[in-house]
Amino acid sequence: MGAPVTIFVTTSDIEASVVAALLESHGIQNFRISGNPQAILPMAVNSLGDIQIAVREPEAEEARRVIESHREDVGARVVRLRDEFEEIQARIGYRFRDRGLLEHALTHRSRAAEDASGGVADNESLEFLGDAVLGLVVADTLFRQYPASNEGQKSKIKASVVSTQSLARHAEAMGLGEHLILGRGEEKTGGRFKPALLADAYEALIAAMYLDGGLEVAETFLRRELKEALDAGITSADYKSALQERLQAMGLPLPEYRVTGEDGPDHRKQFTIDVVSSGEVLGYATGKAKKEAEQEAARLALERLNRSR
């Protein structure tokens, strides 16, 4: 078989994962090892923080050739192995001082679950913090921008702006799904395109920016990202009322909202809601709260009715 030979060294877990997957796709067995090439482990990092990828000696030359030939095209997306975060940083308009925070924000629990060492942390704790930062910035903006609006009106706007579907659309616009670090199972089931997963990563990204650069950095990003939705204000916040008025004008029955699915633990539950009129599903959406999902389902129903005019 031959002794293991180190053929690639990096400080980035995502880069190591990309290279390992690349070699596996070419039928080359590989290992992550510590600074001691004799101590083969599922994943180990030496005292300098380097992650080493090693292969058996007879396959070393072929492994190096594969890595070199794919430095500009790895997996389903174009990426230079040393600059895997350049594109997303350019899209968000912020360069991280600690790129480990960005990597943490992009790591889904499915990837952490597959790591035998326990050294990979998922983004759920960052998502929790990002949700709080997002809520603060949106509430502060609404307080200043709509001083004459009552609490109920501002709450409706906030619910619309921070809904799962709204955040997922922002994540899609910046191509966030392309950069997620997923486990094999989540990758195979289309995790890069799931609204709930994209929204969670978006909130984790907000938290990472907050931790790396402070509230001002996160606030600047969010005010730019959410400006259009916040400026639209009350006119677009209550889609349920707008849908009801539209159906009445068309002589159709009032809309009904039906819970068709629940997913996740009690503290992180996601609800799927269908909006129905005359027995026909006009739209459906998923959200962290039933009211949030109902608003998004109503918005999609209105879009569908507008297209059919």
Instruction: Calculate mean pLDDT across residues 95-121.
Output: 85
| Last residue in a domain, options 84, 114, 137 | 84
- Indicate if 214 and 248 belong to the same structural domain: no
pLDDT in tens, 268-292: 788 999 999 999 999 999 888 888 8
Per-residue confidence (pLDDT) for residue 46, from 0 to 100: 39
Two structure tokens written together for 285: 């959406």
The number of angstroms, rounded, from the C-alpha of 172 to the middle of its chain's C-alpha atoms is: 9
**Which element (helix H / strand E) includes 306?**
helix 290-307
The packing angle between helices 151-161 and 290-307, to 10°, is 70
Residue 171 clears pLDDT 70, i.e. is over it: yes
The number of angstroms, rounded, from the C-alpha of 80 to the middle of its chain's C-alpha atoms is: 21
How many domains does one find in the chain?
3
Two structure tokens written together for 133: 């930062």
- Indicate if 128 and 232 belong to the same structural domain: yes
| Last residue in a domain, options 236, 262, 285 | 236
Residue 164 clears pLDDT 60, i.e. is over it: yes
Q: Which of 44, 62, 59 is nearest to 4 (CA)?
A: 59
Domain around 58: 4-84
Instruction: Calculate mean pLDDT across residues 192-221.
Output: 95
Two structure tokens written together for 200: 């969670």
Residue 107 lies in a domain: no
- Rounded to whole angstroms, how far apart are CA atoms 46 and 175? 33
pLDDT in tens, 1-16: 567 889 888 777 667 7
- Rounded to whole angstroms, how far apart are CA atoms 257 and 84? 43
pLDDT in tens, 224-246: 999 988 887 755 557 888 888 88
Q: What is the mean pLDDT of the chain?
A: 83
Looking at the DSSP bridge assignments, the partners of residue 257 are: 275
* Local confidence band at 299 (pLDDT 50, 70, 90 cut-offs): confident
pTM of the model: 0.58
Catalytic center residues: 131, 203
- Indicate if 131 and 203 belong to the same structural domain: yes
SS3 295: helix
Percent share of the chain, pLDDT over 70: 85
Looking at the DSSP bridge assignments, the partners of residue 270 are: 263
